Structure 1
Amino acid sequence: MTRIDVAITAEPLESRLSSEGRDGRSGAEVRFSGRVRDEAGQVRALFLEHYPGMTERALRRIGEHARERWPLNAIEMIHRVGEIRVGEEIVRVVVWAGHRQAAFEACAFLMDVLKSQVPLWKKELTDDGWHWVEARERDAEAAARWMAPSSEGAR
């Protein structure tokens, strides 16, 4: 059975490292780490809010979909909330599997679906103050690609 660990935290993620994959079952570990960026030189920080309980359930549900679709050994999804400065890690998704293809595909799936289906609300801090960030259509399009018949995964 694939282990699924999910967490929401206000603490920095840099100190959270899993020891999964060292038992010899996983030949592949794929890790995605998303950081707060400032492409235009205007963003100072992000502030993320969530609905406790609901957010964790949504993460777990996405993990369960990945577990059904690919032969995985373990999944870890950790998301920060609260104020997060530019350059700090905001999300980490790690997938362990017997082989790389399943791990790569599952990690991409988890991140794409997380961006559009997990209840998190984001504000940006700029020189003009705090502003809500609207959902991006490209995030919904990325998640929708996984629902197309041609993206059945590695099974």
Structure 2
Amino acid sequence: MRVSVIGGGTITDDQAARAEAVGRELGARGHTVVCGGRGGTMEAVCRGAKAEGGTTIGILPGERREAANDYVDVPIATGMGHARNALVPLNGDAVIALAGSAGTLSEIGFAQIFERPVVGLGTHDVPGVRVVETPEAAVDAVEAADET
């Protein structure tokens, strides 16, 4: 399945380690990562997925595919700025939300509009987001949601 992973562009070392662990778990289980394609959470999750042989898609805010982080396999330039936040959850079968700010919150909202299951791991407290405690539990939860 395709799993959109959302989170901040500027994150702490602990948040980066968590995002990378999510990416590793997704890659090890054969899932494709969809993200915003830039730095922070997006780079860490892609790095983790690639370490396990996974595939990554980056939906970029700008017009240049070259702006993607080094771990994105398929960069998609949109030229849409923050409006591209709608496209990240739309292109996943489910969403894992990590720590972030307003952009992450907007992506959670779009995920719910598009009726994608959202699993939260250290993210915003939003109704409808299933909260889990570990990267493994996050991937378990999106896999279980895909089976329903």
Global fold match (TM > 0.5): no
Relative contact order (C-alpha < 8 Å, sep 6+): which is higher? Answer: 1
Larger proportion of strand: 1
TM-score normalized with structure 2 length: 0.32
Which structure: larger Rg?
1
TM-score normalized with structure 1 length: 0.31
Larger proportion of helix: 2
